[in-house]
Amino acid sequence: MPTANLGLPFIAQGQAQKEVTHNESLRILDALVQIAVVDRDLTSPPASPGEGQRWIVKSGATGAWADHDNEIAIFLDGGWSFFAPMVGWLAWVTDESVLLAWNGATWIDPVDAVAAIQNLGRLGILTIADSTNRLAVKSDAVLFSHDDVTPGTGDMRVAVNKSAAAKDAGFVFQDGFSTRTLFGLLGDDDLTVKVSPDGLTFHLAISVDKDTGHVGLGGAVADALNALIVKGTAFLFDRETDDVRLTFNKAAAGDDAALTFQTNYSARALVGLLGDDHFTFKVSPDGSTFHTGFIVEKDSGRFTIPLAPKFSAYTNFDNYIAANAWTKVQFNNTDSNDQNAFDADTNRFTVPFAGVYAFGFSLRFRANTTVPTKVIAAFFKNGAELGRGRAISGAPIDDLTTFNLTVLMPLAASDVIDVRVNLATNDGYVKADQSHFWGHYVP
């Protein structure tokens, strides 16, 4: 009866020629212990085998190897001996420098055998895995590379899957096993990065909305409306080499490319290309009604203030001026009247907001019967002479003498400005169509 594993023959009690049995056992041991085979790819014996050389017989064997598929074939004493492998036998294939193992059905590469390991409860590499960390690795580096042996597709992906949106699928980065960064799907399906100084308090750094790809930075949560949301008290855009630029591009002139300034998320100012290609600044008291502060025209660079009051008024009839009394000139028509600050019915300009204003008038005298001995023309503010100069002359010449005056001064909101004339001794007229009153806000 042979041994259980290698089938070595025993020497029987009282056996003759015991050396034959003993030598046979040695031959088997020599063949099967520390197996190194020449090749595993032959289905028929080699032409010139060496004494003691071994092969793994490839499936489909013929000739002297027929019916010995996957067995160890050894050439001894000019003939072939065969040994059927048992589970766990290892053999080194010399021409491939590959170690093979017999699994009971075929010779396999142990690397492939390791790859075939399934359903391990836990695995620790240079450390102990536990019930929480079922895979634990201690290493200075871990490499996940694409399959260049099979070869594969050239891709390399790591999938981190969770059971529901409210769960976490993330990476945790720690310092001394105290968390400093969380990265992944944290409690929802948006991509999130959080950082911590102590592993207890976490600050939202980056948020990416799953539906739109919109990004939130510095604690801002991304939403579907704003492609980028940033929270902070200061922002620096630094040059890379010499210049630094921010570009705002729109699809067409009728669209907006703008900066919006808000108070508690209610717009108070708009700056940019607002509905056209002029550079415009608008302000709002409530986020719904907007007033245009100024415009820089794209074709000329001309600076305009649409809401700044300016007017040019004239009279289309001869204004009668009685002698020795201040009489308001009736400028009953306008060539222009932005913001309607000049009232042709009352012949006066009402200051809409405090600031510096410029005014001027030009008055042509027309005589009645006898010319006055003196003519005085002046601006009046709130019913009293302004006191910033007078246009004055002695006896005027009919339809020739013209009185001009220009002033520049600060005024308060609701101040009223008009033009008045005083004729000494005799009456007369301020001539129609040749007499003008104008003014405007000076920014």
282-297 pLDDT, tens digit per residue, is 999 999 999 988 899 9
10 Å Cβ neighbour count for 106? 12
Number of domains within the chain: 5
Q: Per-residue confidence at 2, pLDDT binned at 50, 70, 90?
A: low
Alpha carbons 387 and 252: distance in angstroms, whole number = 53
362 within a domain of the structure (yes/no) = yes
Question: What pLDDT is stored for residue 110 in this prediction?
Answer: 73
10 Å Cβ neighbour count for 288? 8
Mean pLDDT of 307-329: 96
Residue 32 reports pLDDT greater than 60: no
Residue 6 reports pLDDT greater than 50: no
Question: What pLDDT is stored for residue 246 in this prediction?
Answer: 92
Alpha carbons 202 and 210: distance in angstroms, whole number = 21
Lowest mean pLDDT among 21-25, 89-93, 412-416: 21-25
249 within a domain of the structure (yes/no) = no
10 Å Cβ neighbour count for 22? 15
Conformation bin of residue 67: beta by default, left when phi > 0, alpha when psi is -120 to 50: left
91 within a domain of the structure (yes/no) = yes
Using only the alpha carbons of the chain, give its radius of gyration: 52
As a whole number, the mean pLDDT across the chain is 90
241 within a domain of the structure (yes/no) = no
Mean pLDDT of 36-58: 92
pLDDT digit string, tens, across residues 209-238: 999 999 999 989 999 899 999 999 999 999
**CATH number, residue 322:** 2.60.120.40
Domain limits for position 145: 119-154
329 and 391 inside one domain: yes
323 and 429 inside one domain: yes
423 and 344 inside one domain: yes
10 Å Cβ neighbour count for 361? 25
Residue 329 reports pLDDT greater than 60: yes
360 within a domain of the structure (yes/no) = yes
Residue 324 reports pLDDT greater than 60: yes
10 Å Cβ neighbour count for 255? 13
Read out DSSP for 217-268?
A: ETTPPP-SS-SEEE--S------SSS--------SSTTSEEEEEEEETTEEE
Question: What pLDDT is stored for residue 304 in this prediction?
Answer: 84
Residue 31 reports pLDDT greater than 80: no
| Cβ proximity of 46 and 66 under 8 Å | no
Q: Which pair of tokens denotes residue 335?
A: 């060539």
Q: Which pair of tokens denotes residue 396?
A: 């005027």
Lowest mean pLDDT among 10-24, 107-121, 218-232, 236-250: 10-24
24 within a domain of the structure (yes/no) = no
